Structure 1
Amino acid sequence: MTIEIRRRLERALAKSGAPSSDYDLNADVKLPSERRLRPAGVLAAVSSRPTGSVILLTKRAPTLKHHPGQIAFPGGKVDDGDTDPSAAALREAREEIGLPSDMVDVIGCLPPHETVTGFQVTPVLALVDPLFKPIPEPGEVAEIFEVPLAHVLDRDRFSIQSRRWRGTRRAYYTVPWGPYYIWGATARMLCALADRMADETD
């Protein structure tokens, strides 16, 4: 199963695709051309289970200053010691969920995603050893959970919702799973993967 899902993911990454943005559904927003985005990397970690492939997600700690309690990929901003967003994603995954780099097989990257908080986030797609046992870093991660890959590759599972943000109504993607409300940048990046894998579902 691991070999087959790797081939499917490789074919998906080989397809052309444009960068995504938190503003994709908000055409009335005019972004300044001179804006400076901070680079970041997140790890879209796929693993195999007897029932099929899953993707690992985290629920951020409620005590965090930014995005407390939200669902996210492991990852964060590129630090001075990181060579690129992939290195940042792997480092953050070690820190946040205890994922050793030798249990990760990086396949490639999706086009970057611009967030409303001023980051250019590169989603790093990787396979993770099925024997990996995640350990949440309590200061950053409240919970680590798995979502069937088939669920987040099904475009019919995605919906568009909206809320008021900074005085205007902002639309965004959601793809809920059980008690987990997956939305915003995480849902948008998953949507980008689903679009590429429309004929590559597992």
Structure 2
Amino acid sequence: MKTPLPRHADWRSVLQYAVAVPLMPADEGWQLVLELRNPHLRSHPNEVSFPGGRIEAYDAHPGVTALREMAEEIGTPSESWELIGALPLAYTVNGRMVAPYLAFREDVPKFVCNPAEVNSVFTVPLQWLMEHEPVRVEMQDGVRPGENFPYERVTSVVPGWTGRQKYDVYFYTYGDFTIWGLTARIIRNFLQICREQKISFDFDFRQWRGDLT
């Protein structure tokens, strides 16, 4: 009999989303490609994000998802980018796990935004990000029991907000753009790796090619 229990090694059982962290060249060094989301979207409207989305059953691995979503959102063919490797997993505030994948290309593409999802595309110099620390803000989430909560049975819970959790949120301000939330955490994680490896903005990231799974 085949066990119905999940295998922890199966990434499909834990990962739902993947994003691309695209690098492209410029005279002043590498640039990170970011998008400004459509202001009419139901989820995170008018916010800065990396290209990405839900992992589909036909995606061979999350890196394929990242490139496919990037092609759909900003019009650059998947084959025009090369995946370098996976960055540390990132978590949304509601516990969803997101797989970021570093990608690069040798030239500057022509971006064609999908107007249903993306308002515009812009780039941020990697050197600028390395030279500017993000602003850290403390956030709090809490749980409030519903009106029919059986307080007489669970005496450790009292009416009102309870179970508060504190966590840090990071903000980068680049020109008119505010980069925060999950996107800022992914950038911060990437820069932390660069610092640990003593890597500067002109490093050849192709040397990082590795396991994509």
TM range (shorter): 0.7 to 0.9
Question: Which structure 2 residue ranges, 5 or more long, are not aligned?
Answer: 1-12, 143-160, 202-213
Equivalent residue number for residue 126 of structure 1: 103
Asked if residue 61 in structure 1 is aligned to residue 60 in structure 2, the reply is: no
Within 5 Å, give how 1:1-202 maps onto structure 2. 38-154=15-131, 156-162=132-138, 171-198=168-195, 199-202=198-201
Distance 1:112 1:171 in 2: 17
Distance 2:167 2:39 in 1: 23
Query: Deviation of residue 165 (structure 1)?
Result: 5.4
User: Relative to 1, partners in 2 of residues 1:70 and 1:37: Cα closer, same or farther, differing over 3 Å?
Assistant: farther
TM-superposition CA deviations, 1:63-101 (whole Å, max 9, x none): 111111111000011012212211110110000001112
Counterpart contact for 2:25–2:108, Cα < 8 Å: no
| TM-score normalised by structure 1 residue count | 0.76
Distance 1:107 1:174 in 2: 26
Counterpart contact for 2:170–2:184, Cα < 8 Å: yes
Query: Deviation of residue 153 (structure 1)?
Result: 2.8
User: Relative to 1, partners in 2 of residues 1:71 and 1:179: Cα closer, same or farther, differing over 3 Å?
Assistant: same
Query: Deviation of residue 116 (structure 1)?
Result: 1.7
Amino acid at match of 2:199: E
| TM-score normalised by structure 2 residue count | 0.72
Distance 1:86 1:47 in 2: 17
Distance 1:72 1:152 in 2: 15
Query: Deviation of residue 147 (structure 1)?
Result: 0.2
The alignment partner of 2:179 has SS state of coil
Identity of aligned residues (%): 31
Higher radius of gyration, 1 or 2: 2
Equivalent residue number for residue 9 of structure 2: none
Aligned residues, how many? 166
Counterpart contact for 2:24–2:108, Cα < 8 Å: no
Distance 1:102 1:183 in 2: 29
Distance 1:128 1:144 in 2: 16
User: Aligned-pair RMSD on alpha carbons?
Assistant: 1.9
Distance 2:95 2:57 in 1: 18
